[in-house]
Amino acid sequence: MEDVLRPIYQEKASQSNTLGILILEKNKPISPVTDNFDVILFIIVQDAEEAWYVKHYEFENKSAAMHIVDEKLLQHWIDTSSYRRSVEWVINGSIIFERNEYVSELKEHLRSFPQEKRELKKAIEFAKLIRSYSESKDLFDSGQYLDSFSQMVRSLHYLARLAIIEKGFHPEVTVWNQVRKIEPEIYKLYQELIESGEPTDKRIQLMIIAVEHSISKRSRSSAQHLLQLMNSREEPWSFGELKVHPEIQEYILDLSSMIEYLVETNVIEVILQKTKGPSIFHRTYKPAEDELTFE
Protein backbone atom coordinates (compact mmCIF):
# COMPACT_ATOMS: atom_id res chain seq x y z
CA MET A 1 0.00 0.00 0.00
CA GLU A 2 2.88 2.32 0.79
CA ASP A 3 4.29 1.75 -2.71
CA VAL A 4 1.04 2.88 -4.32
CA LEU A 5 1.02 6.09 -2.26
CA ARG A 6 4.72 6.82 -2.76
CA PRO A 7 4.24 9.33 -5.62
CA ILE A 8 1.97 11.38 -3.34
CA TYR A 9 4.14 11.49 -0.25
CA GLN A 10 7.45 11.79 -2.14
CA GLU A 11 6.26 15.08 -3.56
CA LYS A 12 5.54 16.31 -0.02
CA ALA A 13 8.84 14.96 1.31
CA SER A 14 10.75 17.03 -1.22
CA GLN A 15 9.26 20.26 0.13
CA SER A 16 11.47 22.10 2.61
CA ASN A 17 8.70 22.81 5.13
CA THR A 18 7.75 19.14 5.56
CA LEU A 19 8.90 17.88 8.96
CA GLY A 20 7.67 14.32 8.82
CA ILE A 21 5.34 11.81 7.20
CA LEU A 22 3.68 8.86 8.90
CA ILE A 23 1.48 6.08 7.55
CA LEU A 24 -1.12 4.11 9.47
CA GLU A 25 -3.10 1.23 7.97
CA LYS A 26 -6.47 -0.07 9.09
CA ASN A 27 -6.04 -3.37 10.91
CA LYS A 28 -9.69 -4.35 11.44
CA PRO A 29 -12.97 -4.00 9.49
CA ILE A 30 -14.32 -1.16 11.67
CA SER A 31 -11.56 1.30 12.51
CA PRO A 32 -12.48 4.56 14.29
CA VAL A 33 -8.78 5.44 14.53
CA THR A 34 -8.48 5.71 10.74
CA ASP A 35 -12.04 7.03 10.24
CA ASN A 36 -12.60 3.66 8.48
CA PHE A 37 -10.17 4.55 5.70
CA ASP A 38 -7.79 1.77 4.71
CA VAL A 39 -4.81 4.01 5.25
CA ILE A 40 -4.00 7.39 6.81
CA LEU A 41 -1.14 9.45 5.42
CA PHE A 42 -0.23 12.00 8.10
CA ILE A 43 2.06 14.82 7.00
CA ILE A 44 3.42 17.37 9.48
CA VAL A 45 4.59 20.69 8.09
CA GLN A 46 5.62 24.11 9.38
CA ASP A 47 4.42 27.57 8.34
CA ALA A 48 1.55 26.11 6.33
CA GLU A 49 -0.82 28.44 4.48
CA GLU A 50 -3.70 26.20 5.60
CA ALA A 51 -3.36 24.81 9.13
CA TRP A 52 -5.15 21.54 8.29
CA TYR A 53 -5.61 20.24 4.77
CA VAL A 54 -7.35 16.94 4.00
CA LYS A 55 -7.63 15.03 0.73
CA HIS A 56 -9.25 11.63 0.06
CA TYR A 57 -8.04 9.03 -2.44
CA GLU A 58 -9.23 5.71 -3.81
CA PHE A 59 -7.04 3.00 -5.37
CA GLU A 60 -7.38 -0.73 -6.01
CA ASN A 61 -10.74 -0.77 -4.18
CA LYS A 62 -9.10 0.80 -1.14
CA SER A 63 -9.39 4.27 0.36
CA ALA A 64 -6.86 6.66 1.80
CA ALA A 65 -7.02 9.99 3.63
CA MET A 66 -4.13 12.42 3.54
CA HIS A 67 -3.93 14.93 6.40
CA ILE A 68 -1.44 17.78 6.13
CA VAL A 69 -1.20 19.57 9.49
CA ASP A 70 0.83 22.53 10.66
CA GLU A 71 3.06 21.64 13.60
CA LYS A 72 1.53 24.39 15.79
CA LEU A 73 -1.98 23.03 15.32
CA LEU A 74 -0.75 19.49 15.95
CA GLN A 75 0.89 20.62 19.20
CA HIS A 76 -2.39 22.25 20.23
CA TRP A 77 -4.23 18.99 19.54
CA ILE A 78 -1.69 17.08 21.60
CA ASP A 79 -1.74 19.50 24.54
CA THR A 80 -5.54 19.69 24.77
CA SER A 81 -6.68 16.27 23.44
CA SER A 82 -8.96 18.21 21.11
CA TYR A 83 -8.31 15.77 18.23
CA ARG A 84 -7.27 12.48 19.79
CA ARG A 85 -6.86 10.61 16.51
CA SER A 86 -3.84 12.75 15.68
CA VAL A 87 -2.07 11.56 18.85
CA GLU A 88 -2.71 7.94 17.91
CA TRP A 89 -1.47 8.58 14.38
CA VAL A 90 1.81 9.90 15.75
CA ILE A 91 2.19 7.17 18.37
CA ASN A 92 1.19 4.21 16.20
CA GLY A 93 2.05 5.44 12.71
CA SER A 94 5.13 4.22 10.86
CA ILE A 95 7.65 6.89 9.91
CA ILE A 96 8.28 7.01 6.17
CA PHE A 97 10.03 10.37 6.17
CA GLU A 98 11.33 12.79 8.78
CA ARG A 99 13.58 15.83 8.82
CA ASN A 100 16.22 16.03 11.55
CA GLU A 101 14.53 13.22 13.53
CA TYR A 102 11.50 15.44 14.13
CA VAL A 103 8.93 12.61 14.28
CA SER A 104 11.15 10.33 16.37
CA GLU A 105 11.57 13.09 18.95
CA LEU A 106 7.83 13.83 18.87
CA LYS A 107 7.06 10.16 19.53
CA GLU A 108 9.45 10.17 22.48
CA HIS A 109 7.88 13.38 23.80
CA LEU A 110 4.45 11.74 23.71
CA ARG A 111 5.77 8.61 25.37
CA SER A 112 7.38 10.55 28.23
CA PHE A 113 4.32 12.82 28.69
CA PRO A 114 6.02 15.74 30.53
CA GLN A 115 4.49 16.75 33.86
CA GLU A 116 3.50 20.28 32.79
CA LYS A 117 1.56 18.91 29.82
CA ARG A 118 -0.05 16.33 32.07
CA GLU A 119 -1.21 18.98 34.56
CA LEU A 120 -2.93 20.99 31.82
CA LYS A 121 -4.73 17.93 30.46
CA LYS A 122 -5.83 16.91 33.95
CA ALA A 123 -7.28 20.37 34.54
CA ILE A 124 -9.16 20.28 31.22
CA GLU A 125 -10.74 16.89 31.93
CA PHE A 126 -11.42 17.73 35.58
CA ALA A 127 -13.22 20.96 34.65
CA LYS A 128 -15.38 19.09 32.13
CA LEU A 129 -16.06 16.38 34.71
CA ILE A 130 -17.23 18.89 37.32
CA ARG A 131 -19.65 20.59 34.95
CA SER A 132 -21.05 17.33 33.55
CA TYR A 133 -21.43 15.75 36.99
CA SER A 134 -23.15 18.88 38.37
CA GLU A 135 -25.59 18.88 35.47
CA SER A 136 -26.32 15.19 35.92
CA LYS A 137 -27.00 15.69 39.62
CA ASP A 138 -29.25 18.71 38.97
CA LEU A 139 -31.22 16.81 36.32
CA PHE A 140 -31.62 13.88 38.70
CA ASP A 141 -32.93 16.16 41.46
CA SER A 142 -35.53 17.56 39.04
CA GLY A 143 -36.67 14.07 37.98
CA GLN A 144 -35.20 14.21 34.44
CA TYR A 145 -33.71 10.74 34.72
CA LEU A 146 -32.90 10.01 31.07
CA ASP A 147 -31.10 13.33 30.62
CA SER A 148 -29.34 12.77 33.93
CA PHE A 149 -28.31 9.28 32.74
CA SER A 150 -26.86 10.75 29.55
CA GLN A 151 -24.83 13.31 31.49
CA MET A 152 -23.63 10.64 33.91
CA VAL A 153 -22.29 8.55 31.01
CA ARG A 154 -20.43 11.65 29.86
CA SER A 155 -19.15 12.26 33.40
CA LEU A 156 -17.75 8.73 33.60
CA HIS A 157 -16.06 9.28 30.25
CA TYR A 158 -14.29 12.40 31.57
CA LEU A 159 -13.41 10.53 34.77
CA ALA A 160 -11.94 7.70 32.71
CA ARG A 161 -9.84 10.08 30.63
CA LEU A 162 -8.64 11.81 33.80
CA ALA A 163 -7.59 8.49 35.33
CA ILE A 164 -5.65 7.57 32.17
CA ILE A 165 -3.77 10.88 32.27
CA GLU A 166 -2.98 10.38 35.96
CA LYS A 167 -1.24 7.13 35.03
CA GLY A 168 0.91 8.95 32.48
CA PHE A 169 -0.86 7.90 29.28
CA HIS A 170 -2.63 9.86 26.58
CA PRO A 171 -6.34 9.01 26.28
CA GLU A 172 -7.07 7.20 23.03
CA VAL A 173 -10.22 6.97 20.93
CA THR A 174 -10.93 3.56 22.51
CA VAL A 175 -10.81 5.02 26.01
CA TRP A 176 -12.76 2.25 27.76
CA ASN A 177 -10.38 -0.38 26.48
CA GLN A 178 -7.58 1.62 28.12
CA VAL A 179 -9.49 2.11 31.37
CA ARG A 180 -10.29 -1.59 31.69
CA LYS A 181 -6.54 -2.26 31.92
CA ILE A 182 -5.39 0.89 33.72
CA GLU A 183 -8.21 1.73 36.17
CA PRO A 184 -10.60 -1.27 36.44
CA GLU A 185 -12.63 0.35 39.26
CA ILE A 186 -13.85 3.11 36.92
CA TYR A 187 -14.56 0.55 34.22
CA LYS A 188 -16.74 -1.35 36.72
CA LEU A 189 -18.68 1.86 37.47
CA TYR A 190 -19.36 2.26 33.76
CA GLN A 191 -20.52 -1.36 33.51
CA GLU A 192 -22.84 -0.92 36.49
CA LEU A 193 -24.42 2.18 35.01
CA ILE A 194 -24.90 0.69 31.54
CA GLU A 195 -25.63 -2.98 32.27
CA SER A 196 -27.31 -3.04 35.68
CA GLY A 197 -30.87 -4.35 35.88
CA GLU A 198 -31.78 -1.69 38.45
CA PRO A 199 -34.25 1.07 37.49
CA THR A 200 -32.62 4.08 35.82
CA ASP A 201 -33.08 6.39 38.81
CA LYS A 202 -31.46 3.87 41.18
CA ARG A 203 -28.48 3.44 38.87
CA ILE A 204 -27.94 7.18 38.66
CA GLN A 205 -28.34 7.59 42.41
CA LEU A 206 -25.56 5.05 43.02
CA MET A 207 -23.33 6.70 40.42
CA ILE A 208 -23.79 10.14 41.98
CA ILE A 209 -22.32 8.81 45.23
CA ALA A 210 -19.51 6.89 43.54
CA VAL A 211 -18.49 9.69 41.16
CA GLU A 212 -18.63 12.29 43.94
CA HIS A 213 -16.15 10.17 45.89
CA SER A 214 -13.87 9.81 42.86
CA ILE A 215 -13.97 13.55 42.20
CA SER A 216 -13.30 14.41 45.84
CA LYS A 217 -10.16 12.30 46.14
CA ARG A 218 -8.78 13.74 42.87
CA SER A 219 -9.74 17.39 43.31
CA ARG A 220 -6.44 18.77 44.60
CA SER A 221 -4.16 16.90 42.21
CA SER A 222 -6.46 17.51 39.23
CA ALA A 223 -6.63 21.26 39.92
CA GLN A 224 -2.87 21.75 40.26
CA HIS A 225 -2.61 23.61 36.96
CA LEU A 226 -5.02 26.26 38.25
CA LEU A 227 -3.67 26.28 41.81
CA GLN A 228 -0.08 26.75 40.67
CA LEU A 229 -1.13 29.69 38.54
CA MET A 230 -3.02 31.24 41.46
CA ASN A 231 -0.01 30.70 43.72
CA SER A 232 2.18 32.71 41.34
CA ARG A 233 1.25 35.89 43.24
CA GLU A 234 0.21 36.75 46.78
CA GLU A 235 -2.85 38.81 45.87
CA PRO A 236 -6.17 36.99 45.37
CA TRP A 237 -7.56 36.72 41.85
CA SER A 238 -10.82 38.06 40.53
CA PHE A 239 -12.69 35.74 38.19
CA GLY A 240 -12.20 38.31 35.42
CA GLU A 241 -8.42 38.12 35.84
CA LEU A 242 -8.44 34.35 35.69
CA LYS A 243 -10.83 34.36 32.75
CA VAL A 244 -8.42 36.27 30.50
CA HIS A 245 -5.23 34.51 31.60
CA PRO A 246 -3.68 32.79 28.56
CA GLU A 247 -2.63 29.65 30.45
CA ILE A 248 -6.18 28.52 31.23
CA GLN A 249 -7.96 29.32 27.99
CA GLU A 250 -8.34 25.62 27.17
CA TYR A 251 -10.77 25.13 30.06
CA ILE A 252 -12.17 28.64 30.36
CA LEU A 253 -15.75 27.56 29.50
CA ASP A 254 -15.82 25.24 32.53
CA LEU A 255 -13.75 27.45 34.85
CA SER A 256 -16.70 28.90 36.79
CA SER A 257 -18.14 25.52 37.82
CA MET A 258 -14.63 24.25 38.60
CA ILE A 259 -13.90 27.18 40.93
CA GLU A 260 -17.27 26.85 42.67
CA TYR A 261 -16.58 23.18 43.35
CA LEU A 262 -13.11 23.96 44.70
CA VAL A 263 -14.60 26.66 46.93
CA GLU A 264 -17.24 24.24 48.25
CA THR A 265 -14.56 21.67 49.05
CA ASN A 266 -12.23 24.24 50.71
CA VAL A 267 -9.46 23.86 48.15
CA ILE A 268 -9.90 27.52 47.19
CA GLU A 269 -11.06 30.22 49.59
CA VAL A 270 -13.11 33.33 48.86
CA ILE A 271 -11.68 36.72 49.80
CA LEU A 272 -14.30 39.47 49.90
CA GLN A 273 -13.37 42.93 48.63
CA LYS A 274 -15.34 46.07 49.38
CA THR A 275 -17.31 47.78 46.63
CA LYS A 276 -19.13 51.13 46.54
CA GLY A 277 -22.26 49.38 47.81
CA PRO A 278 -22.24 49.11 51.62
CA SER A 279 -23.55 45.53 51.66
CA ILE A 280 -22.15 44.23 48.37
CA PHE A 281 -18.74 42.62 48.14
CA HIS A 282 -16.59 41.57 45.22
CA ARG A 283 -15.54 37.90 45.35
CA THR A 284 -11.88 37.12 44.74
CA TYR A 285 -10.13 33.79 45.09
CA LYS A 286 -6.90 32.28 46.38
CA PRO A 287 -5.76 28.76 47.25
CA ALA A 288 -6.70 27.80 50.80
CA GLU A 289 -4.00 28.41 53.41
CA ASP A 290 -3.54 24.73 54.11
CA GLU A 291 -3.51 23.84 50.41
CA LEU A 292 -0.48 21.76 49.46
CA THR A 293 1.15 22.04 46.08
CA PHE A 294 1.65 18.64 44.49
CA GLU A 295 4.65 18.18 42.28
Q: Do 64 and 167 share a domain, yes or no?
A: no
Last residue of a domain, which of 81, 112, 143?
Answer: 112
Q: Do 49 and 169 share a domain, yes or no?
A: no
Q: What pLDDT was estimated at residue 1?
A: 67
Residue 295 has pLDDT above 90, yes or no: no
Q: What pLDDT was estimated at residue 294?
A: 42
SS3 label, residue 97: strand
pLDDT in tens, 153-190: 999 999 999 999 999 998 887 789 899 999 999 999 99
- 30 inside domain: yes
- 294 inside domain: no
Q: What is the mean pLDDT of residues 13-28?
A: 93
Q: What pLDDT was estimated at residue 289?
A: 79
pLDDT in tens, 60-110: 889 999 999 999 999 999 988 888 899 999 999 999 999 999 999 999 999
Q: What pLDDT was estimated at residue 276?
A: 85
pLDDT in tens, 219-258: 999 999 999 999 999 999 999 999 999 999 999 999 999 9
Residue 56: enclosing H or E segment and its boundaries?
strand 52-59
Q: Quote the CA–CA distance of 202 and 171 in Å, as a whole number.
A: 30
At residue 278 the predicted structure's pLDDT band, cuts being 50, 70 and 90, is: confident
Q: What pLDDT was estimated at residue 28?
A: 83
- 295 inside domain: no
Q: Quote the CA–CA distance of 256 and 245 in Å, as a whole number.
A: 14
- 293 inside domain: no
Last residue of a domain, which of 112, 141, 174?
Answer: 112
Q: Do 63 and 152 share a domain, yes or no?
A: no
Q: What pLDDT was estimated at residue 293?
A: 45
- 271 inside domain: yes
- Is the torsion defined by CA of 193, 203, 140, 123 positive or negative? negative
Q: Do 31 and 135 share a domain, yes or no?
A: no
Residue 87: enclosing H or E segment and its boundaries?
helix 84-92
Q: Quote the CA–CA distance of 95 and 138 in Å, as a whole number.
A: 48
The domain that holds 133 is classified in CATH as: 1.20.120.330
Q: Do 196 and 137 share a domain, yes or no?
A: yes
Q: Do 148 and 253 share a domain, yes or no?
A: yes
Q: Do 84 and 156 share a domain, yes or no?
A: no
Last residue of a domain, which of 45, 78, 112?
Answer: 112
Q: Do 134 and 274 share a domain, yes or no?
A: yes
Q: Do 143 and 71 share a domain, yes or no?
A: no
Number of domains in the chain: 2
- Of 223, 262, 251, the residue nearest 128 (C-alpha): 251
Q: Under a CB-based contact definition with an 8 Å cutoff, are residues 259 and 268 in contact?
A: yes
Q: Do 186 and 258 share a domain, yes or no?
A: yes
- Of 60, 64, 17, the residue nearest 42 (C-alpha): 64
Q: Do 40 and 140 share a domain, yes or no?
A: no
- 251 inside domain: yes
Q: Quote the CA–CA distance of 235 and 20 in Å, as a whole number.
A: 46
- 292 inside domain: no
Q: What pLDDT was estimated at residue 162?
A: 96
Q: What pLDDT was estimated at residue 33?
A: 86
Render the burial of 13-50: b for 16+ CB within 10 Å, e for the rest.
beeeebbbbbbbbbeeeebebbeebbbbbbbbbeebee
Q: What is the mean pLDDT of residues 42-54?
A: 95
- 275 inside domain: yes
Q: Do 122 and 80 share a domain, yes or no?
A: no
pLDDT in tens, 251-274: 999 999 999 999 999 999 999 998
Domain holding 98, by residue range, is: 2-112
Q: Are strands 281-287 and 237-238 parallel, antiparallel or unpaired?
A: antiparallel
The domain that holds 84 is classified in CATH as: 3.30.460.10
Q: What pLDDT was estimated at residue 290?
A: 65
Residue 218 has pLDDT above 90, yes or no: yes
Q: What is the pTM of this model?
A: 0.85
